[in-house]
Amino acid sequence: MEKDALFEVAFEKFDAANSQDPRMWEADGSSYPQELFFSEQHTKWVEKLDPDASDELLLASRCQHICRWEIPRKSYPMDRTGYLTWRSDLKKFHAEKAGELLKEVGYDEATIARVQDLNLKKNLRKDPECQTLEDALCLAFMEHQFDDLINDTEEEKMIKIVQKTWSKMSEKGHAEALKLDFSEKALAIVQKALA
């Protein structure tokens, strides 16, 4: 199979897996399987941040949270240690799942390893592609999930969440975040977090 054909089949496999998400996400008057919607948003943001993104980076964007619903947050203790363990286990799960699907498609070991390294966010600050992926994840969160989280979270905690999110992003990511069409409430939180 040619490289472009491999890429298309990999995206189809990732999208088919994510379309099994039983959780639905409402956007623009339509309903989507949640992880399918967000995987498309991650890819959209990667393409905007890096119009010349490598196939490996685009593949990683599409499978970054693949089948995330299979390991629910509530299956871990509801404290900070439980949260961090859940996040760590999720990264490994996503990388393994992505690797299995890429192998099925016919990708070579080097490509699979690179996509998995990006899934695992290895060398976040030193690897420009990894940083682009992190920016894309943060931007998708701020664009689509921010207001819901604000409604469920006390202001002081929300300010800390924004500060942590901001600290993971590059200057390019910051510039794009400041262009987002925030609600009045969200903008007030961002301004307080960055003050």
Model pLDDT for residues 74-117, shown as the tens digit of each residue: 999 999 999 999 999 999 999 999 999 999 999 999 999 999 99
Judged against a pLDDT cut of 80, whether residue 1 lies above it is answered with no
Query: pLDDT tier at 2 (50, 70, 90 boundaries)?
Result: low
Read off the tokens for 17. Answer: 């897996």
Report pLDDT for 14: 98
Considering its fold, how many domains does the chain have in total? Answer: 2
Cα distance between residue 14 and residue 23, in whole Å: 17
Residues 27 and 119 in one domain: yes
Report pLDDT for 173: 96
Residues 122 and 191 in one domain: no
Query: What is the pLDDT of the chain when averaged over all its residues?
Result: 94
Question: Is the CB of residue 76 less than 8 Å from the CB of residue 83?
Answer: yes
Residues 120 and 150 in one domain: no
Cα distance between residue 154 and residue 78, in whole Å: 17
- The parent domain of residue 52 ranges over 3-127
Q: Compute the average pLDDT of residues 114-134.
A: 93
Q: Compute the average pLDDT of residues 67-78.
A: 95
Residue 132 lies in a domain: no
Residues 28 and 118 in one domain: yes
Residues 47 and 114 in one domain: yes
Model pLDDT for residues 8-62, shown as the tens digit of each residue: 999 999 999 999 999 999 988 999 999 999 999 999 999 999 999 999 999 999 9
Residue 17 lies in a domain: yes
Query: What are the helix (H) ranges across the chain?
Result: 3-18, 34-49, 55-63, 80-105, 109-119, 128-144, 146-152, 155-168, 171-177, 184-194
